Every structure is written in structure tokens, then in C-alpha cells.
Structure 1
């Protein structure tokens, strides 16, 4: 399976640079696999696309203000840090730019010395492990000194930092937002509940490895980065009951999908669990946990396109992307969304 099989043409002007004024104003492209049909809708209409008794699963991770700009203590050179994940104590795995200026023992200061980082390990992939020292509370200092780590394809300034958080973000720890969830408002969630749709939350702290294009020609040679996840007892119970009733489980975002598939693949059912996943889903994969998926439009050749292709079918998915380009859908983090509807047994849904 070649990485070029998942490439597609995308005009640069379709990459959304800023969020829409209202979250749920975004468009929704619906993929009906039973009929092999596409149709254009709006995100507020999601409430009419899901059925009473279905379960929507959202990732409640919260993005860290993980981008830090500091100075090298010895020379005053500007160094940019991106915090990826906490390893032990005050040690963090980071991406550093320019990495060549940061060796073991290098000291970087932030906020006139309010926060100090010392490099303790150089990684082969160019990453660095640094140990922080400070007075007070680390996350309060991060709120003061850090900014949201927007993806590199977003060139515009984000005036309202909360627009890169979901309205239900709770568990601090992500290096990037679970962007499919950015479309939801409290009103839309309320409307879904009123219809009898269960809303379940899990946590997967998103790492940047999820979004990187695959650099190897053969997809099967690609290795995913590990990401931490949590599923509570209450959430697992609701999911299992939904499955046993024969209703649909719909993941909101590829992060929710990967968490649910990790657990269902391991146990054959939904159970409460914490752990690390490096699951890589691509065409040929048999889904064991989820029936449908709400997701944004992703980067060419990315593992996210491969995951969505596994659910929709590669040709159908790439046809949907071509339709989205032709009809000027907005792409990537602040862009529009698609809904891959569950298969329906024994009936054709209207």
C-alpha cells in the first residue's frame, strides 16, 4: 500500500485560517455508504442524521498552551519550544527550534527566568527531553507564558485562544485540539440529548505524531507515536449497553475512534481502561468498536486520511474529498466536517 494512494489535490486557499464566527455554522458533508451517495448539509443538522438510542463519543482532552518562546542563557538566542508530553516529574518531551542550538546541558529561560528549562536528553528524531525548574505552579506559569500550538499551516493570528478548545474540554494534556469537536456548541449537545442520543466522553491526549504525513513510501512501514487515553467505568457501561441494544456508536474525531478501537480490539468489548495506544488504522482494517464517524478534512498522505479511508472505503473517501474541493469546503483544523453514517441493516434510511 503506497502513501501516494492517499494523496489528493488541495488548493491552498481552501485551508481555513480562522474559525467561523459561530462554531456550528460549518458545513457538513454526509457520506451514505449504503447508497454510495454524498450530500451537502450543515453541522447543526447532525441532530437529524443520528438516531435515538445512538451514542456519540467525544474526546474531552484540553490543549496545553504548549508553545513557549525563550532565550538561550549563554547567548540570548531565541529558542522555540513545543511541549509534547510529560515524561516524569518536571521532565517533558519537546520539539525545539532550532534544535541544533540545544544540546544536553543547554539552559533556556522563559519570562525573565520565571521558568527555566535544562536539556537532559537528545532524541534521534530531533526532539529533546528537558527538565523545568520554577517557583509556584507549573500550569499557572504555562498559562502566563505559553500560547496555543496552532498547526504550521495556520498563518493567521488566533485572537480568541478558546476557539482552539472544544466547549467540553476538561482534561489538560494535549499538544493539539481534537478538531472534529470544535464544531459542537452546548446548544447542539443539548439538542442531541433531547433526541435521546447518549453523549459519552473519553480522553486521549493528542500528540503531534498523529498529524504528520507518512514519510515512507510503504504505508505498512510507518510507526505511530504513542498517545495516552482514559475511558471511565460509566462511559464503558454506556458504550457496551449501546452495542448490545444494536444501536450505533459514533466517534467524534479520529482520536475518539482510535481510543475505542484500541479497547475493543484488545478486549472484544468496552471496558474501563487507561493506557497508551499506537494503533494505526488503514484500509483493510475491520472496525470492532465504532459504527460511524464525525471528522474534519485532513492533510494529504496523513494517517488520518488512511483511518477515514478504512471506514468509508478509499475510493469513496477520495471522491468525497474531490467533491469538497469542487464545492469550496474549508479544510483542516478550522475547516468543515464530514459525517460517515453507520451502515443500516434491513432498511434504507431517509
Structure 2
């Protein structure tokens, strides 16, 4: 399909720069079949059924954005160009793939001093222009990032205001457990213990999986046709017990509702043709566009996405492009807040 079919105009003032407080006070647009209903996140239990199951991503965002100065090839610390790095995928215990700002000034073999005793070697330049950075020393890289890194807010927020201490908590879900994401699974940012308790009282179960969201989720689709786009890979895991519980939900007539496109993509990666979810550990680069037949999920709770993005393509595959265009037109007209810190939508293909 043509990528420009997924374009739309969004007024800049619709982009949320801070989350709703409390989190579950955000609005929620329910798209049930082709119908649109204005609601709030706290109304979620009323829109689900007893026996349904919400699936959350328990990845934890690490402070993966670093600012440093290029050194020499022997780590002599000589003053040089300013280098910015956003880690996006772990290679091993000491090495990460990173998108680099001012990459033309950095060469393989040179060091970057990120301050606070954090130094990395530019070990390899990858075909897409990113680098493999090898961090020096024996401390876990997560500790180094806690000292020198900042939260990797999306460009549409970071370009409008500075990252601050509030973002350390705001850009983390209540389910965050497994270190490794460089972008939040933002649909779950709306959840609070009170909302989770209300869902439990309504007979709605919850399950968790892990998908370490990469910064590639914000990369624009540069191809003119979706068939020519290469999707970024992210590491995920669904254990055998979780897979069995989710299969039991559907066997009993309940629905599996993914909370966020990250949960959805991993569930679909782990599903067989008959919809059975199998245990999964490894990378997924699944790219979902209209025409895709969903196997593992029956609905999706998600925020509002960027135009021409793989995520808007995904929701259009689930609900239909015309339906999602109408939903986004309605959300813009009604003042819904967009993107990571914005409001939510609940997409139910069967109404």
C-alpha cells in the first residue's frame, strides 16, 4: 500500500507534553466496530467482559540517552566533537546498538566520554548508520546509565521541552520490571493500582509478557510503499505458563486484549495459524499492515499514533483504514491528547 494513505494533519497543540494526573484520568475513545464512543480510561471495566484478559508489557525503560565528547583512538580523552547517543538494542552485557547524533564526526575505534566515568568505544558502524558501542569497565551498563543517562523521551516531546526528573517516573508503567526498553509501552502508562483492582472486581484478568521496545519505533517510514519498509527488530519473551493461561482464556470464551502495540506484536509473533499462542523467546520484526489476519488478539488498547507510522498502519489493519481515519478526525476535533503522554483508545473490531 502507498504510505501516504496513512498520512493525516495533526495540530501541534494536540501533542501531550505531560501525562494526565492521576494517570487513569486520561480520556479514552472507544472504537467498537465502526462506532465511536467518548469515554475515560476509568470506564474500561464497563467496556470489557467478565473472562476477558488484558495483556501488559512489563519492560522497564532505561535512561538510554547519553551526551558526550569524542576522544581519541586510545582513549586519551582528548577534547573533540559533541556526540549524542540513544541506545536502542542490547548486543550483549557490555555492548549496545545506538543511534548516534553527529555520527559523521565519530569513527570506528574512537571513544566517547559520556561523563560520570562512563566511556564507550565506537566498535562498529552498522549499515543503517548506527553504531555498536562497547562500554568500558566492569560495572553493569545499567548502573552506568543511571549515572550518566537521561530518559529517552520521544522526539516530539524532547524537541519541545527538556527532560526532567519527573520523567523518570512518568515515562515508566506500573508494570515495569525487566530492564531493557528505550521507549515506554505507552498504553499501560494509564493504569493505576485502583484501576487494576476495579478490573479484577469485574472479572477481567491480566497477564504480562516482555518486549524491549527499541528507539526504532519512532523511525519514520521513508519508503513510498509499505512493501519496501524494513521493520526494526525487538527482543521479546512469552513464557510457557503465560501462553497456557492466555490459551485458556480464549478456550473459555474470553477475549485477549493487548495493552499496547508492543504486546500485540509479540502475541502475534508467537501465535500459530489456528490462534494458539506458543512460548516465544527471541527477536521479532513483524510488520502489520491492512490485509493482515490477526490470530492471537481480539482487541487493543493503545494511544494515538504518528501519521505515516507503522503503528497507525497496525491499528488500521485491525479496524480498517477508513474507520481509523474517522476515529482520528473525531479525536482531533474533540481535543484528545496525542502520542506517548496523551489519551487512549480502545479498539474492539467486533464491537
Give the TM-score normalised by the residue count of structure 1.
Answer: 0.94
2:136 partner SS: strand
1:235 matched residue in structure 2:
242
Contact 1:53–1:196, Cα closer than 8 Å, also in 2: yes
Aligned partners of 2:51 and 2:253 also within 8 Å: no
Question: Is residue 211–residue 304 contact of structure 1 (8 Å, CA) maintained in 2?
Answer: no
Q: Which residue of 2 aligns with 1:318?
A: 325
| CA RMSD in angstroms, aligned pairs only | 1.4
Note if 1:285 corresponds to 2:312.
no
Scaled by the length of structure 2, the TM-score of the pair is 0.94
Cα distance in 2 for residues equivalent to 1:202 and 1:211: 21
Partners of 1:234 and 1:190 in 2: how far apart?
Answer: 22
What does residue 203 of structure 1 align with? Answer: 210
Q: How does 1:248-327 map to 2 (within 5 A)?
A: 248-265=255-272, 268-327=275-334
Residues 85 and 92, structure 1, Cα contact 8 Å, conserved in 2: yes
Matched with 2:29 is: 29
Runs of 4 or more off by more than 3 Å in structure 1? 265-268
Please state how far the C-alpha of 1:125 moved relative to its aligned partner.
Answer: 1.4
Report the CA distance between 1:135 and its aligned residue: 4.4
Measure how far apart 1:156 and its partner are: 2.2
Q: Secondary structure at the match of 1:105?
A: coil
Q: Is the 8 A contact 1:298 1:305 kept in 2?
A: yes
The match for 2:221 is 214
Give per-residue Cα distances to partners, 1:99-127, cap 9 Å, x unaligned: 01111011111225x11111111122110
Contact in 1 for aligned 2:119/2:136 (Cα 8 Å): yes
Task: Look up the match of 1:164.
Answer: 171
Deviation at 1:159, TM superposition (A): 3.6
- Report the 3-state secondary structure (helix = DSSP H, G, I; strand = E; otherwise coil) of the residue aligned with 2:134: strand
The question of 1:340 aligning with 2:343 is answered no
Deviation track 1:180-225 (CA, whole Å, cap 9, x = no partner) reads 1100011111111121111000000011222322111111111111
- What is the CA-CA distance between 1:293 and the residue it aligns to? 0.4
**Aligned residue number for residue 74 of structure 2:** none
Equivalent positions of 1:149-160 (< 5 A) are 149-154=152-157, 155-157=160-162, 158-160=164-166
Q: CA deviation at 1:269?
A: 1.0
Whole-angstrom distance in 1 between the partners of 2:165 and 2:328: 29
SS at match of 1:58: strand
Which one of the candidate residues 144, 149, 162 is aligned to 2:147?
144
Of 77, 82, 86 in structure 1, the residue corresponding to residue 86 of structure 2 is 82
Are 2:101 and 1:94 aligned? no
What SS does the aligned partner of 2:156 have?
A: coil
Contact 1:248 1:342 in 2 (8 A): no
1:348 equivalent in structure 2: none
Query: Are residue 329 (structure 1) and residue 336 (structure 2) matched?
Result: yes
Give 1:173's aligned residue. Answer: 180
| Counterpart position of 2:119 | 116
- Which of residues 125, 130, 135 is equivalent to 2:128? 125
Consecutive unaligned residues in structure 1, runs of 5 or more: 345-350
Query: 1:9 offset after TM fit, Å?
Result: 1.2
Alpha-carbon displacement from aligned partner over 1:282-315 (angstroms, at most 9, x marks no partner):
1111100000000000000000000000111100
Q: Check whether the contact 1:67–1:148 (CA below 8 A) recurs between aligned residues.
A: yes
CA distance in structure 2 between the aligned counterparts of 1:135 and 1:202, rounded to whole angstroms: 30
Look up the SS of the partner of 1:134 in the other structure: coil
Mean Cα displacement is larger for which, 155-164 or 220-229?
155-164
Count of residue pairs brought into register by the alignment? 341
Distance in 2, Cα, partners of 1:90 & 1:9: 42
8 Å contact from structure 2 (residues 236, 281) kept in 1: yes
Unaligned runs of 5+ in 2: 72-77
Distance 1:172 1:215 in 2: 30
Equivalent residues of 1:68, 1:82 under 8 A apart: yes
Tell me by how many angstroms 1:267 deviates.
7.5
